[in-house]
Amino acid sequence: MSEVQVVGPGDWRVWRELRLAALAEAPGVFSAKLSEWTGPGDTETRWRAWLTEIPFTVIVWWQGIPAGMAGAFCPAADRVELVAMWVAPVARGHGVGDAVVEAVVRWAGDRRVGLVVNRDNRPAIRLYERHGFADTDLPTDHVGEKRMLRPHDGTRCATGVCARHGRPDTTGDHSLAPGFTGPR
């Protein structure tokens, strides 16, 4: 049984615990490095800032422990980027990843959802494909990665402003910014 919790700056302690575990356990899949978030980089201010700047962050509790996580932000009004996706090894294969992706997709509404994944990360790719993500040939920052995209029905975000992020879409450009990946 899993439970989804949307977290904010006040939840920085549990977010920190999960994020440090993720960076230690899966160092090759995130652009952030454990060394950047430990020692002098490990401050309450910084964790709170992450949870403030990333407009949607979820934790999934599984059997009473925080076991899954992801963040999402809006690089454009009609687009959401899924980042920092991780499930604790003990909880893998039990639908925690599904719950995390479903929460982000629900928050995205009629916006497209994009992400960057290592081409050899089969468990993650299978999870994303199951939720409607498909390969693109859009560029990524690093060799060995690919960008996947979950299309929507073509309807733009009603307000033209990304909810909670408050960034108006003034460009009229609804394509993916080349090379854009944001924090992973």
Ligand X SMILES: CC(C)(COP(=O)(O)OP(=O)(O)OC[C@H]1O[C@@H](n2cnc3c(N)ncnc32)[C@H](O)[C@@H]1OP(=O)(O)O)[C@@H](O)C(=O)NCCC(=O)NCCS
3-class SS string, the chain: CEEEEEECHHHHHHHHHHHHHHHHHCCCCCCCCHHHCCHHHCCHHHHHHHHHHCCEEEEEEECCEEEEEEEEEEEECCEEEEEEEEECHHHCCCCHHHHHHHHHHHHHCCCEEEEEEECCCHHHHHHHHHCCCEECCCCCCCCCEEEEEECCCCCCCCCCECCCCCCECCCCCCCCCCCCCCCC
The single residue among 34, 108, 127, 149 that binds ligand X, judged by CB under 6 A, is 127
Q: Is 119 an interacting residue with respect to ligand X (CB under 6 A)?
A: no
Task: Using the minimum distance from each CB to ligand X, give the nearer residue, 76 or 124.
Answer: 124
Phi, psi of 36, rounded to the nearest 5 degrees:
-80, -20
Q: Is 2 an interacting residue with respect to ligand X (CB under 6 A)?
A: no
The single residue among 87, 103, 113, 157 that binds ligand X, judged by CB under 6 A, is 87
Cα–Cα nearest to 117, from 29, 25, 19: 29
The least CB distance from residue 45 to ligand X, in Å, is 26
Cα–Cα nearest to 127, from 62, 68, 184: 68
Q: Is 178 an interacting residue with respect to ligand X (CB under 6 A)?
A: no
The least CB distance from residue 123 to ligand X, in Å, is 3
The least CB distance from residue 33 to ligand X, in Å, is 14
The least CB distance from residue 25 to ligand X, in Å, is 7
Task: Using the minimum distance from each CB to ligand X, give the nearer residue, 55 or 68.
Answer: 68
> In 10 A of CB 166, how many CB atoms?
9
The single residue among 32, 48, 121, 167 that binds ligand X, judged by CB under 6 A, is 121
Residue with smallest beta-carbon separation from ligand X: 93
The least CB distance from residue 93 to ligand X, in Å, is 2
Q: Is 86 an interacting residue with respect to ligand X (CB under 6 A)?
A: yes
The single residue among 27, 123, 151, 160 that binds ligand X, judged by CB under 6 A, is 123
| Residues near ligand X, by CB under 6 A | 26, 29, 85-87, 92-93, 95-98, 117, 121, 123-124, 126-127
